[in-house]
């Protein structure tokens, strides 16, 4: 029975260790995958002719002395380091000490409502907030709640909504949408267009437009809304929700 309890305890210990390892977040050095246009530095201790910089070509490979064409795309720094170490040790060097670093990363991209959209050189530790700052920051028309990052994960393209302090990766495409708007016309103090926000009621929309004028017919507020591609007009209670593109019209009272 003592042996059985010992085996059960050992089994649980191993399971907990495996679970802890499964949720461990890898360092960025380990998750970064080398790709075309990265510039890498290879250093081999005591071998100057084998210590050099190479740009990863469009086919994902580099030319390297003794070994010829070396596949680099898709590998982490550690994996490429192991690849070169094992191949150099196969008939070329005895116990080679290889170190690899990335001198210049490939670009990430920002499009949409930023002041200077385009491609920018990636740097380790880059966050979404800093990436947008590098593109000049958001424009006045930007929708700060609708910023998405298009990223290829494995062979699958994904559209992600990330926190401002989330890490950006090379080849990411950050897309900043234009803010959706609604419109208020008629007997309000500041008619015009306003940025839409989720959960906005008609009453709050009118408040954003300065509130009713003295001539407003508060109980006859109407909304023009596109429904299935057709524009419809109907009276709407003040506690109803508004939608992007709505045109809220406050008519004048005649008594």
pLDDT per residue, tens digit, the chain (255 aa), is 444 444 334 334 433 333 333 333 334 444 788 999 999 999 999 999 999 999 999 999 999 999 999 999 999 999 999 999 999 999 899 899 999 999 999 999 999 999 999 999 998 889 999 999 999 999 988 988 889 999 988 778 899 999 999 999 999 999 999 888 999 999 999 999 998 888 999 999 999 999 999 999 988 999 999 888 888 999 999 999 999 999 999 999 876
Adjacent-strand bridge partners of 126:
none
> What is the enclosing helix (H) or strand (E) of 206?
helix 202-208
C-alpha of 229 from chain center: 32
* Beta-bridge partners for 107: 121
- pLDDT value of residue 13: 40
Per DSSP bridges, beta strands 173-178 and 107-112 are parallel
* Contact status, residue 99 vs residue 85, Cβ threshold 8 Å: no
Closest CA to 101 of 125, 81, 73: 81
Give me the pLDDT at residue 17, please.
36
Q: What is the largest distance, in Å, between two alpha-carbon atoms of the chain?
A: 100
Give the C-alpha separation, 85 to 87, whole Å.
6
Total residues found in the chain within this entry: 255
pLDDT at 255: 66
Hey, how many other C-beta atoms are within 10 angstroms of the C-beta on 191? 16
Taking phi over 0 as left and psi of -120 to 50 as alpha, with beta for the rest, 10 belongs to: alpha
Cβ neighbours, 10 Å, residue 82: 14
Which residues lie closer than 8 Å to 218 by C-beta, 6 or more apart? 212, 238, 250
pTM above 0.75, yes or no: no
- Provide the β-strand partners of residue 53: 41
CB neighbour list of residue 2: distance below 8 Å, 6 or more residues apart: none
């Amino acid at each position: 029975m003592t042996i059985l309890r010992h085996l059960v305890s050992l089994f649980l210990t191993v399971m907990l260790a495996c679970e802890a390892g499964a949720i461990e977040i890898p360092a960025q050095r380990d998750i970064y995958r080398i790709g075309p246009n990265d510039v890498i530095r290879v250093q081999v201790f005591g071998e100057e002719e084998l210590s050099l910089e190479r740009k990863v070509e469009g086919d994902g490979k580099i030319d390297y002395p003794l070994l010829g064409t070396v596949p680099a795309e898709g590998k982490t720094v550690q994996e490429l380091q192991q690849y070169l170490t094992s191949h150099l040790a196969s008939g070329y060097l005895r116990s080679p000490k290889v170190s690899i670093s990335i001198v210049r990363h490939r670009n990430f991209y920002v499009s949409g409502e930023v002041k200077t959209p385009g491609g920018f050189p990636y740097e380790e530790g880059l966050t979404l907030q800093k990436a947008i700052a590098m593109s000049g920051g958001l424009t006045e028309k930007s929708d700060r709640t609708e910023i998405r990052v298009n990223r290829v994960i494995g062979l699958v393209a994904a559209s992600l909504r990330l926190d401002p302090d989330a890490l950006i990766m090379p080849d990411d495409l950050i897309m900043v949408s234009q803010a959706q708007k609604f419109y208020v016309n008629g007997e309000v103090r500041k008619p015009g267009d306003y940025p839409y926000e989720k959960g906005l009621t008609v009453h709050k929309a009118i408040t954003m437009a300065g509130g009713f004028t003295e001539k407003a017919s508060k109980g006859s507020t109407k909304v023009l809304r596109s429904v299935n591609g057709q524009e419809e007009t109907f009276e709407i209670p003040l506690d109803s929700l508004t939608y992007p593109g709505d045109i809220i019209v406050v008519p004048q009272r005649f008594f």
